[in-house]
């Protein structure tokens, strides 16, 4: 029986990838890289540290990882969120879960600053029982730490948790944590391999918490 739903944020709550890819390219190319949005898409969903480590290795940059991470203008990305809306149907689905007294967590590879900006901008804070960001764990997805921490804070066993993810790393992390996983394939950026998810879906309008509890 599913007692908790754990949401990823980027690509699930907000279609932030399109904004982030452009800004990441611009920032990386100030260091002399010839990085393209297409290449970032091939790399898939990565935490900030994972992304800049990949850039440093592939382009043989002499710079320290911490300098590369801080070079990215996170505030500019957050400013652009003001012109965006939540992923269609996700807010309604969150309310559906809440009405049925199922616990809800957010477990994101984003920084706390960016996570807080998104949930406050869209008025989602009161819908989540627990929020966890990448800064609270030692290892990022595909390591399961962030999902295990979320289930611990929810006081729900991992086997009773269902994760909603749009990335292969997120799916792997959910499975390593012993949780069920729904793979979201509804946004244009998605070319992730979500094979092995318990179910794939393309719109939050397809989802109903009572039906999910019967099916999964």
pTM of the model: 0.90
Same-domain pairing of 37 and 119: no
Domain count across the chain: 2
In terms of average pLDDT, the best of 15-24, 149-158, 194-203 is 149-158
Same-domain pairing of 22 and 122: no
> Is residue 40 exposed (0-12), middle (13-18) or buried (19+ Cβ within 10 Å)?
buried
DSSP string, 35-78: --HHHHHHH-S--HHHHHHHHHHHTT--S-HHHHHHHS-HHHHH
- Set 10, 15, 134, 166: catalytic member: 10
Would you give the distance in Å from CA 195 to the centre of its chain? 17
Q: What is the mean pLDDT of residues 146-171?
A: 98
Catalytic (active site) residue 116: no
CATH code at position 109: 3.40.50.1000
Q: What is the mean pLDDT of residues 63-79?
A: 95
Catalytic (active site) residue 8: yes
Question: Quick one: which of 9, 4, 178, 199 has its CA closest to 90?
Answer: 9
Question: What is d(CA 41, CA 190) in angstroms, rounded to the nearest whole number?
Answer: 8
Same-domain pairing of 8 and 95: yes
Among 81, 96, 125, the domain-final residue is 81
Same-domain pairing of 11 and 39: no
Same-domain pairing of 64 and 161: no
The pLDDT value given to residue 17: 86
Question: What is d(CA 90, CA 87) in angstroms, rounded to the nearest whole number?
Answer: 6
Residue 58: give the domain boundaries.
Answer: 17-81
* Predicted confidence (pLDDT) at residue 192 exceeds the cutoff of 90: no
CB count within 10 Å of CB 193 equals: 12
Same-domain pairing of 67 and 29: yes
- Set 8, 15, 134, 166: catalytic member: 8
pLDDT per position as a tens digit, 44-54:
888 899 999 99
Same-domain pairing of 105 and 39: no
């Amino acid at each position: 029986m599913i007692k908790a739903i754990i949401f990823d944020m980027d690509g699930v709550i907000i279609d932030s990838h399109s904004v982030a890819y452009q800004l990441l390219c611009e920032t990386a190319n100030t260091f002399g890289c010839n990085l393209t949005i297409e290449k970032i898409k091939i790399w898939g969903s990565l935490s900030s540290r994972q992304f800049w480590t990949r850039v440093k290795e592939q382009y043989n940059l002499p710079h320290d990882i911490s300098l590369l991470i801080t070079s990215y203008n996170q505030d500019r990305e957050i400013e652009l969120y003001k012109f965006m809306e939540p992923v269609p149907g996700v807010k309604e689905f969150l309310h559906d879960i809440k009405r049925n007294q199922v616990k809800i967590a957010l477990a994101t590879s984003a920084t706390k600053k960016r996570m807080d900006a998104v949930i406050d901008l869209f008025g989602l804070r009161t819908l989540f029982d627990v929020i966890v960001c990448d800064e609270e764990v030692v290892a990022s997805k595909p390591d399961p730490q962030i999902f295990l921490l979320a289930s611990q804070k929810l006081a729900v066993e991992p086997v009773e948790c269902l994760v909603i993810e749009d990335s292969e790393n997120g799916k792997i992390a959910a499975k390593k944590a012993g949780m069920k996983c729904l793979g979201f394939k509804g946004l244009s950026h998605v070319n992730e391999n979500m094979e092995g998810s318990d179910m794939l879906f393309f719109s939050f309008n397809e989802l109903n918490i009572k039906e999910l509890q019967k099916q999964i």
